[in-house]
Structure 1
Amino acid sequence: MLLRMDGCARQHSQTQIMATNKMKMGLVFVLMFLVTPAQQAPLPYSSILNLSFKNMDFAMDLYRKISTYHDKNIIFSPLSISTSFAALSMASDGSTYEEILKGLKLENLEQADHPDLIPKLFQMLNGNISQNGTTKLDQGMSLFVDQKFRMEKTFEEQMKSYFLADIKSVDFEDTNASVSLINEYIKHKTRGKVTKMLSAIDPITELMMINTFYFQGGWKMPFNPNYTYNAPFYVDNYNIPQVPMMIKEDKFETMEDTRLGARVLKLPYLEGVAMLILLPNKGVDYSTIDDEITAKRMLGWIKKLQKTKLEINIPKFKMEESYALHEILPDMGFTNLFSGSANLTKLSKDQGLKVSEVLHKAVVDVDEVGTTAAAATTIGIIPYSLPRTFIVNRPFFFFIYHEETKSLLFMGRVIDPTKN
């Protein structure tokens, strides 16, 4: 995600997606602050679960806003966005601070006698999520600070303490060197998934806040690529492309939301992370489901999952999506940040700081195997019966979440799996 000030338009090169036999996600969240003349203007575990719920609620609202702009594929990381704005809240004060918390739906978590409660909760949440053994969930925060910029010491210490931020000094007037340095940093943090994120930097840039989130997980029950076959995917009545369809028969957790008119399937990764697929029933328009997806509803799906023998058919897909969130966030209450009245005095006493751009980019690559191959042989004697089927051959939603904390890492919708 790239967040900028002053609304200066810049072009970015396309993110290159490595063609590997793995399920991978890489995401970059970047906040850029440009200084302009002023006239241009110890905690209970239940609190972590509450934070995850609030983040999920924010994610569903953001999804609905994004979905009103187009009928295309969607992919974004709610956790990366929430974490970045939580860090930004420490730089803000007054009404700017209040609107960030309200926009993130975190105002009820704030406690006057614990001013650092929210960053502490994010610290605990991210620490819990990162402890996943072979599943890689690496989130990083960094500040690229112009060598002439006077950043408040307290803010710097908080960023290091709560978000383990790297603080790097840079001369933004040397734009070529700055672009090269930051692109290499992002490439390294996302294991090569996001390259050449920036093509140019405004020389009056004072600070860039960068949040990277890299996820790489292998299926707990990988698909056999030899069984992958081409099948029709019904985007609509007139658009029916052929897609590579993965197939597997096993016991999976599933449930049916009869009121919503959809079925839910859980696909677990190797350790502590899972994907939920929400598939509208035949004849149910996916757009009618948008307004019904809530944090409470998703937690209800998870509670009601039951294991059953299934033959599942899931399309392979790759997605890369970018969003100009500064065009969307004002409709969610984030207005002060983008105006000349923005109060970022906890970041710096320098005048004229405001946020002009918030760009978010996420990439996902889903296929048969995952990070590592896994095999197991179980011999049992049971009555033979034909399995029920779960065939994902029409637009669907997906949610990748941390099972212990119920934290939503990625969410999206696939309208056409052939469109990258």
Structure 2
Amino acid sequence: MKTTFYMSLLLAGLHAVAHGQLLPSHHNGHDTNEHIHHAHEAVACLKLVPNNADFAFQFFKEITLEAPNKNIFFSPVSISTAFAMLALGARSTTQTQILEGLTFNLTEIQEKEIQEGFHNLIHMLSHPEGGVQLNMGNAIFLTEKLKPLKKFLDDAKALYQLEAFTTDFNNPMEAEKQINDYIERKTHGKIADLVKDMDPQTVMLLATFVFFKGSWEKPFKPEHTEEREFFVDPEMTVKVPMMHQTGRFDLYFDEELSCTVVRLHYNGSATAFLVLPAKGKMKQLEETLVKETVQEWSEHLFQSLVSLYFPKFSISGSYEITNTLSKMGIVDVFTDQADLSGITGTPDLKVSKVVHKAALDVDERGTEAAAGTAAEILTLSIHPTIEFNRPFLMLIFDRDTNSTLFIGKIVNPTISS
């Protein structure tokens, strides 16, 4: 019988706020060496980009099948980072399944390159440009009798900034408190009570977290927010606080997928794609969304003067994703066939549970945002209105690394979890 451990992946909130003065979205005053180092990191990251994007949209498809007509919010980069780190301690078929489940073709890219790529990705995402706060981290909680190999800990610390803690799982309440307090502190209070009802048989828990806080490049004014109707489905309508601004936005109408795409930038290097399918077309979009679709949208965006309505909302998603990952080919690591001997030197360890928790806040926060900014003078002409008043997708990308930070499907913005 294998010893099992819980693997908790979590993402703590995206907080889209608008406050303070607008910051330039490029580096200032960095020396040449830093730029060269940044360029090297970017090259290593870029090798991962197509695979990480494929994984993101495959995972999205699986989750939407499991939770149809529900709000969805998760961080693909958080999940793939945690499993790439787990692959450090995996051997034989277990390791191959993990890396191939993350959509890597091992005849085209070596494990060493994958690990280096994730290392650089974490470093770049943890040092974003001004205006965006993005913290990523990994922690391992171990029972005292489980002695991980020095090589695994050294490699995981060097590559994934791993922090390691000794935990008494025989006292589940105390263990839960230690882990939850750590996570809550690291995620600025956004994720509380990640683990509960812990199995006293647990010997190791792996947690990965991402915390993101961004301010809109073009903030919404709170005084323009008003209650409006949101059409959840043909039978259900709810009232939501709807933010509003008129201005020039990046737009694209995808006739093939019957959806409207609006791109909003945050200060710094993060970008949001807001995707509004025509009535009855969400399912088609979910089934066909791939990285090439997003690439096509990016290439065809055009600037247009529009009146934009977008809801102010908070949602969170909590998922037990063992089953989802098994469907994507990551199977052995959850069974007695698991070979995680690279972690402890013995093959008696398997992953029992994978939890992923994510939270999303979107608001217009900060009345002082308008203080130092020039007002945009708009001629009074008839311009189109785009109102996100029915289920939509929200995709958040990091421009520096082309990473899919978050994918959200907002079906009902009044339901927070």
Which range, TM-score by smaller chain? 0.7 to 0.9
Q: Does 1:369 align with 2:375?
A: no
The separation in 1 between residues aligned to 2:76 and 2:97, in whole angstroms, is: 18
TM-score (norm 2): 0.87
Aligned position for 1:391: 387
Q: CA deviation at 1:350?
A: 3.1
Give the SS at the match of 2:245: strand
Report if the CA contact (8 A) 2:225-2:243 is conserved. yes
What secondary structure does 1:67 align onto? Answer: helix
Q: Is residue 340 of structure 2 the alignment partner of residue 344 of structure 1?
A: yes
What is the aligned counterpart of 2:353 among 357, 368, 383? 357
Deviation at 1:348, TM superposition (A): 1.3
- 1:228-307 to 2 correspondences below 5 Å: 228-281=225-278, 283-307=279-303
Amino acid at match of 1:100: I
Q: Which runs of 5+ in 1 are unaligned?
A: 24-41
Instruction: Please give the residue correspondences for 1:11-410 in structure 2 after superposition, counting only pairs within 5 Å.
Output: 22=17, 45-69=42-66, 70-108=68-106, 111=109, 115-130=111-126, 131-281=128-278, 283-369=279-365, 373=369, 375-378=371-374, 384-410=380-406
Question: What SS is found at the alignment partner of 2:232?
Answer: coil
| 1:28 counterpart residue number | none
Which amino acid in structure 1 is aligned with residue 84 of structure 2? A
Q: Percent identity?
A: 31
CA positional deviation for 1:53: 2.2
Which SS does the other structure have where 2:341 is aligned? Answer: coil
| Alpha carbons of structure 1 residues 351 and 100: separation in structure 2 relative to 1, 3 Å | closer
Equivalent pair of 1:53/1:407 in contact (CA under 8 Å): no
Do 1:218 and 1:372's aligned partners in 2 also have CA atoms closer than 8 Å?
no
Partner amino acid, structure 1, of 2:150: K
Deviates more, 1:103-112 or 1:50-59: 103-112
CA distance in 2, matches of 1:256, 1:6: 49
TM-score (normalised: structure 1): 0.86
Greater fraction of residues in helix: 2
Aligned partner of residue 247 in structure 1, secondary structure: strand
Q: How many residues align?
A: 391
* 4+ aligned runs moved over 6 Å, structure 1: 15-18, 379-382
Partner SS for 1:289: helix
Determine if contact 1:140/1:212 at 8 Å carries over to the other structure: yes
Cα drift, residue 47 of structure 1: 4.4
Offset at 1:258?
Answer: 1.2
Per-residue CA deviations over 1:45-90 (Å, capped at 9, x if unaligned) read: 4442231221111111111111112211100000100100000011
Output the amino acid matched with 2:170. Answer: E
Partner of 2:22: none
Q: Over aligned residues, Cα RMSD in angstroms?
A: 2.8
Q: CA offset at residue 284 of structure 1?
A: 3.8
